[in-house]
Amino acid sequence: MTGRHVGATVLGLIAGAAGFAALLLVGYLLYRRVWGDWVPALVGITVLFGTAGSYAGWILGMLVFSAVRGPENEGGSAA
């Protein structure tokens, strides 16, 4: 494992966590605006937006990791 892989992993994790947190924040803001203090709505919104945020965070993290890491071979071509 090279330093480039470590940096790509760290940035990928940060990007994934940011994507996850952003969708959870959107869900929470929707909950506050529409339902107020209804606990079942909070649970539903958390599950719905948490699931979507997990997937979006994973995709974003993989994109950032792949972009920072670069091609495996040092020739510069990915294929």
User: If the chain, 79 residues long, is cut into consecutive pieces of 10 residues, what is the mean pLDDT of each piece?
Assistant: 84 93 94 90 94 93 89 61
Q: How far apart are CA 33 and CA 35, in angstroms?
A: 6
Number of domains composing the chain: 1
Residue 76 lies in a domain: no
Residue 52 lies in a domain: yes
pLDDT at 51: 94
Residue 79 lies in a domain: no
pLDDT at 73: 64
pTM over 0.95: no
Residue 75 lies in a domain: no
Residue 28 lies in a domain: yes
Q: How far apart are CA 48 and CA 23, in angstroms?
A: 10
pLDDT at 75: 58
Query: Residue 69's Cα: distance from chain center in Å?
Result: 18
Q: What is the domain range of residue 50?
A: 3-69
Instruction: Report helix angle 39-69 to 3-34, nearest 10.
Output: 160
pLDDT at 5: 86
Residue 13 lies in a domain: yes
Contacts of 12 (CB under 8 A, 6+ apart): 61, 62, 64, 65, 68
Rg (CA), the chain: 17
pLDDT at 76: 57
